[in-house]
Amino acid sequence: MNHKHAIAAAALAMALTTVVSAPAEAAGKEKCYGIAAAGQNDCGNLAGTHSCAGQSTMDKDPGEWKLVAKGSCESMGGMLKAEAKKRYEEKKQKG
């Protein structure tokens, strides 16, 4: 038995221990289901909801719509401009 086979045998032993200890079948009945994402396909027509997203800043011409990030990007952008951005750029170059 060479070195690789010894490693494989050890791995098998570990794997079998794990399989035995994992309560795989029992867990199948558990109600630990994660969250179902909202359905993306519906019959209700959304044409009338246009104005909610449109807001007054939205021009009628799609070509004029500006892409401005609000939400948490407002804080994130500020943070990146300072320390963090430098750090991540350095890291990126290394990576």
Partner 1 sequence: MSGGNISVMDYQSQFLNEIYHVDSTLGDKGLQVYQNNLHMTAMLSLTVTYPVLAQMVGEQAMFVLSHRLLRAELPESGDWADWGQQLPALIRNSELNAEHPYLVDIAQFEWVFHLASRSQFHALNSASLQRLADEALEQTFITLQPSLKYLRSSYPVHGLWRLHRSQTEQEVPSRQQLENVMNHQETGCYVIAQGAHNTNIVEVYEDEFNWLRGISDGLSVAALLDIFPAFDFAAWIASAIQRDWITHLE
Partner 2 sequence: MTAIHPLKQAQIHATPVGVGLRHEHYSAALLPSSHSVDFVEIHAENFFAEGGAASRLLDQIAERYKVSIHGTAMGLGSAKGIQPEYLKKFTRLVNRVNPVLVSDHACFTWGNIDDMPVHAGDLLPLKFNHATMNVLADNIDRVQQALGRQLLIENIVSYKQFSPSDYSEAEFLATVAEKTQCGLLVDLNNVLVNYHNFTNGNALQLARQWLRHMPVNAVKEIHLAGSTPVEPGMLIIDDHAQPVSDECWQLFDDATARFPNAATLIEWDNDLPSWPRLLYEANKARCRQAMTTELMA
Residues binding partner 2 (CB under 8 A): 33-49
Cα 22 from chain centroid?
Answer: 27
| Residue 43 touches which member of partner 1, partner 2, none, C-beta under 5-8 Å by kind | partner 2
Interface mask toward partner 1 for 33-72; x: CB under 8 A = xx--xx-xx---xxxxxx-xxxx-xx-xxx--xxxxxxxx
**Looking up tokens 């943070």, which residue turns up?**
79
Of 8-27, binders to partner 1 (CB under 8 A) are 8-19, 22, 24, 27
| Residue 56 touches which member of partner 2, partner 1, none, C-beta under 5-8 Å by kind | none
- Of 54, 74, 81, give the one whose Cα is nearest residue 65: 54
Alpha carbon distance 65, 57 (integer Å): 8
| Residue 9 touches which member of partner 2, partner 1, none, C-beta under 5-8 Å by kind | partner 1
Are 65 and 58 in contact, with CB atoms under 8 Å apart? yes
Pull the structure tokens for residue 67.
């892409």
